Amino acid sequence: MFFLFYLGFELQAQTDEKVLETIYKTALTNGQSYQWLDHLSNKIGGRLSGSENAELAVQYTKSELEEMGLDKVWLQPVMVPKWVRGLQEYAYIESVPGEQMAVNICALGGSVATPGNGLKAAVVEVKTFEELAALGTEAIQGKIVFFNRPMQPDLIQTFDSYGGCVDQRYAGAMEAAKYKAAGVIVRSVNLRLDDYPHTGSMSYGDMPVEQRIPSAAISTNDAEKLSALLADNPNLQFYFKQSCQQLPDVQSYNVIGEITGSEFPNEFILVGGHLDSWDLGDGAHDDGAGVVQSMEVLRLMKLSGIKPKRSLRVVLFMNEENGLRGATKYAEEAKRNGENHIFALESDAGGFTPRGFSFQAGDNNYAQILSWQSLFKPYLIHYFEKGGSGADVGPLKSDTNVLAGLRPDSQRYFDHHHAAIDTFEHVNKRELELGAATMTALVYLFDKYGIVKEERLKPVMD
């Protein structure tokens, strides 16, 4: 106890450069994030909302936060959707009657099942919803629509590329059903060519249940194959079978831990990631990495002897992948309790080498953030830009606070995203620890200096 008190007193007298040096050194020599991720990934596995594994992850992370000796640890109840994949999907292309070429598919999250014997139909390939509309019901009715728009490969910001094509996954079935399609196959949202189909959420909007059609993702290699075969034979048949179903909502939890602030306990700084994941892999990058990095922020603050002025919270959100129920619930409760969240930081872009942050901030706060940029350069953190923060912290945005997202190198992220190869062995220990240290450093600075008052624009008088 005396050592921690002395260390805390010593840190108060140190420069910010020295404090950051302590944080990075501690993360790289005495980190815990990789061990936590090992357990989440290899002892629990994929953590789809409403599943037994999701509940195991809730109990495990709660117990680990309690072991850290935080001031408060609790579970926040939230009702979440329960979608189950069922038996492994199966699909083939039939160019000639009786000759079947198996391909790799997976049901998209939220999809309905095919008929019990599967679905077999002719295929219509499109790249956009505009092409679909131009073809109309006469060309689409009774057929399987194949959305084959790839991620744009020449965009350096791969999340921009993702945003340019994910609409076909999310709304493809809803759009195709308008023209009485029998089903939908969507090219996996993946920059590289491989044999792994990538799942992800999809929606039917307010479409009646009886009008909903099955929707599945196909691997990028098999999407290329199907497109080439269709060019030679527009009359080929495609067969797929999936047994997924949507069950009634079940109760789950956000997992929350707090270090109470010593000077401003009613000002909250939040760091978090989402505890749920898709079920094909073990959710190591998406978002096991963000979960353990967020837990590690509070651990590193304590271990480095930093006594925060403001209350620091780690929030492990449930149900980001297919509903955002945890984030919505947390924001509702924060508003109801009158909690002032001055800063919230999310890690949900994988456990790769950290490059920096993107910020939702007013000009005055952004100027303060840029004044800290030189502190991060020794650790090769150079990316400080205005932009998005994260889906789970988004509902906390106000006119006065600051939201941020950790931005790791994203070039390999979509190789793993929502696929069976989002697994522990694809996370590098050192990269994961560097990300946790980088997050802790930013939290330390916001805790020390707070946020800057933003000037409101005066109305223009006529």
Q: Which residues are catalytic?
A: 320
Q: Taking a C-beta distance cutoff of 8 angstroms, is the pair 93, 123 a contact? A: no
Q: Which SS3 state, helix, strand or coil, does residue 269 take?
A: strand
Integer angstrom CA distances of residue 404 from 155, 175, 333, 356, 365: 22, 33, 21, 10, 12
Q: Which SS3 state, helix, strand or coil, does residue 449 take?
A: helix
What are the backbone angles phi and psi of residue 356, rounded to the nearest 5°?
Answer: 160, -145
Which pair of tokens denotes residue 74?
């609790």
d(CA 262, CA 49): 36
Please, which residues bridge with residue 256 across strands?
A: 74, 315
Alpha carbon dihedral 379, 415, 421, 84, in 10-degree steps, equals 120
Q: Which SS3 state, helix, strand or coil, does residue 454 take?
A: coil
User: Could you tell me how far CA 126 lies from the centroid of its own chain?
Assistant: 28
Q: Residues near 61 by Cβ (< 8 Å), separated by ≥ 6?
A: 36, 40, 255, 275, 291, 295, 316
Integer angstrom CA distances of residue 40 from 27, 47, 64, 294, 414: 19, 9, 12, 14, 21
Supply the DSSP symbol for 287. Answer: I
Q: Taking a C-beta distance cutoff of 8 angstroms, is the pair 41, 28 a contact? A: no
What are the backbone angles phi and psi of residue 263, rounded to the nearest 5°?
Answer: -115, -40
Centre a 10 Å sphere on the Cβ of residue 69 and count the other Cβ atoms it contains. Answer: 11
Sort strands 264-274 and 340-346 into parallel, antiparallel or unpaired.
parallel
Q: Taking a C-beta distance cutoff of 8 angstroms, is the pair 235, 97 a contact? A: no
